[in-house]
Amino acid sequence: MRVVSDMQAGGEKADSLLRDEVCNRYAQALQDEALKQRILAQVPATRQVELLQSALQSEGISVVQKTTLSVALAESLEAAGRSANALEAWKMVAAELKSQPHSIWSDRADAAVKRLSRKR
């Protein structure tokens, strides 16, 4: 993740294979707290937000990849202390998941919206 972050900071664009690997790594990290913490130690949440926003604008990402990257973005915004932005991101994820009723992310999105709404 650090390599991809450094590439992006240097103005380089990731090819589709590297983008797919980033999506896979985030999918794993979203279900493995220890891996998520290792990624946060390597790449600060603020840089991850930039990386994820860029990845979400990539051409050719699948619906599954978009959902995974959107969940990772919402979590990264929250980790970066940007609660209001995280709430909006989670609301967008929850809205997108209405068309995917059996998504593994639905409960997480709903809980995050409730939790962050109480902080306002």
Residue 1 has pLDDT above 60, yes or no: no
Q: Residue 107 to residues 5, 94, 114: CA-CA distances in angstroms?
A: 29, 9, 11
Amino acid present at 111: A
Residue 17 has pLDDT above 70, yes or no: yes
Say which residue the tokens 């998941």 belong to: 97
The tally of CA atoms less than 13 A away on the side-chain side of residue 42 is 12
Q: What was the pLDDT predicted at 3? A: 53
- The SS3 assignment for 35 reads helix
Q: What was the pLDDT predicted at 21? A: 85
* pTM of the predicted protein model: 0.86
Residue 42 has pLDDT above 70, yes or no: yes
Question: The dihedral of CA 32, 1, 100, 88: what is its sign?
Answer: positive
CATH for the 2-119 domain, from 3.30.70, 1.10.3470, 1.10.287, 1.25.40: 1.25.40
Tell me the pLDDT tens digit for each residue of 63-110.
899 999 999 999 999 999 999 999 999 999 999 998 887 889 999 999
Show me where the domains of the chain are located: 2-119
